[in-house]
Structure 1
Amino acid sequence: MIPDRIIEQGTLRAHDGRVAVEVRLPWYRALPASCISGAKLTVDGIEAPTASLRWRMNGEEFTFAEMKTNTEQWWFPTDSAVLSGDIGTDAGEHEVRVDLELYIPYIIIDDDKVLHIEEHDTKTMTARQVEEARA
């Protein structure tokens, strides 16, 4: 719905073979973590391995498997989440792509299935090398 605003410009960070980028909800209403069914993080055409992806929101970090049944944590349209994964990169300019898969639980379509949306955004930005333990 709002795919060109998924990636927050200027938020690419790199540390010890991991990258992280802040993302925004491409929907107009809050969603529980269980509705964030998947994501991909790609830098300069290299995709982070799915098993390495982590999602941070509300001060907590999750795997996508952990979020599958999590209805206590909510992603609000005004809040950024952080998507990170194992991709070694250096400082400098990079093309970043984020793909998100979301379920919209209150919109029912075809035989009691809920709406499933897939959105993506690509931006070019400069990576900041950070000293903290997690990028």
Structure 2
Amino acid sequence: MATHNTLLGDDSLIPHPDGFAVALRIPWYRSLWLSAVSEIRVNVDGVEIAQDRMHAELNGRSFPVQALKEQWDTLWFMQDRLHVVVHRDRPLRPGERLDVDVTISMRILYMQIAPMTYVTNRVHGHRELTARAAA
């Protein structure tokens, strides 16, 4: 269950007022604190998106992608989708297609292997996605 095929779904590309969001499923078999996320990298149509051109949204809260590892009080539940919002000049329209490539690294905080060192789950997902209507 903790495999790359859980990260992106066919419905993962969503128009957003700031550009578009990529909805990620937690790539693990149980919920984890958002602070477990150590890195998210996104490439769209072969172009890497700069960290300062993205933010993350979860349950009505917004975080800079670089600050996720500081969110020790926020749980990413299995049923939730972490929306990684990519900023661009115009919002994506429903029906537009993008080639989306995401890599996420997560520290498994209950699997400590040395002082302050944890097992890392690095998962890569790649799909050509069609933007669905915003919910």
Short-chain TM bin:
0.7 to 0.9
Unaligned runs of 5+ in 1: 131-135
Distance 1:4 1:87, change over 3 A: farther
Please name the residue that 1:71 is paired with.
72
For each residue in 1:69-116, what CA deviation from the matched residue of structure 2 results, as whole angstroms up to 9, or x when unmatched? 22111101121110112356675322111110101011122x332111
For each residue in 1:5-39, what CA deviation from the matched residue of structure 2 results, as whole angstroms up to 9, or x when unmatched? 20121231345772211110010121111111110
SS at match of 2:30: coil
How far the C-alpha of 1:128 sits from its partner, in A, is: 4.7
Distance 1:34 1:96, change over 3 A: same
1:116 to 115, 120, 124: 120
Distance 1:40 1:13, change over 3 A: same
Separation in structure 1 between the aligned mates of residue 27 and residue 109 of structure 2, nearest angstrom = 15
The amino acid that maps onto 1:44 is D
Moved more, 15-24 or 116-125: 15-24
Q: Please give the root-mean-square deviation of Cα atoms over the aligned residues, in Å.
A: 2.3
Unaligned runs of 5+ in 2: none
Please name the residue that 1:2 is paired with.
3
How far the C-alpha of 1:43 sits from its partner, in A, is: 1.4
1:28-67 aligned at under 5 Å gives the runs 28-67=29-68
Does residue 104 in structure 1 map to residue 108 in structure 2?
Answer: yes
How far the C-alpha of 1:64 sits from its partner, in A, is: 2.8
The amino acid that maps onto 1:12 is L
Distance 1:56 1:15, change over 3 A: closer
SS at match of 1:62: strand
What is the TM-score when the length of structure 1 is the normalising length? Answer: 0.82
Separation in structure 2 between the aligned mates of residue 53 and residue 16 of structure 1, nearest angstrom = 13
Separation in structure 1 between the aligned mates of residue 133 and residue 46 of structure 2, nearest angstrom = 20
What is the TM-score when the length of structure 2 is the normalising length? Answer: 0.82
Separation in structure 1 between the aligned mates of residue 70 and residue 97 of structure 2, nearest angstrom = 37
